Amino acid sequence: MPTKYVGEVVEIVYMDKDGNLSQRRIEVHGIRGELVYSTCLTSGERRTFRKDRILACKPSPFRRRETGKNNRSMTLHG
């Protein structure tokens, strides 16, 4: 995943350690070495993904807007 996606919302296809595939929309907070630090916009949880397990990545037409510093609710805009 290119560093140009830091601060952006992207859609990924991810394969976990057991070979299960999932499609996710994430906000990328940082990339360090082989790890991508992000927030999953479906669950609202902070997640760390291994770059070698991200099978596909593209910019999302949606972007995240937080409603408050400690408020977990968000609005997606297209």
Domain count, the chain: 1
Phi-psi region of 57 (alpha: psi -120 to 50; beta: other; left: phi over 0): beta
Cα 25 vs. chain centroid, distance in angstroms? 5
pTM for this prediction = 0.76
pLDDT for 6-53, tens place per residue?
A: 999 999 999 999 999 999 999 999 999 999 999 999 889 999 999 999
Residue 13 lies inside a defined structural domain of this protein: yes
Query: Residue 77: pLDDT above 80?
Result: no
Residue 69 lies inside a defined structural domain of this protein: no
Q: Read off the CATH number of the domain in which 12 is found.
A: 2.30.30
pLDDT for 51-68, tens place per residue?
A: 999 999 999 987 654 444
pLDDT at position 7, please? 93
Residue 16 lies inside a defined structural domain of this protein: yes
Which of 46, 15, 14 minimizes the C-alpha distance to 29?
Answer: 46
Can you give the residue range of the structural domain that contains 43? 3-60
Residue 75 lies inside a defined structural domain of this protein: no
Instruction: Give helix then strand counts, H and E, for the chain.
Output: 0, 7
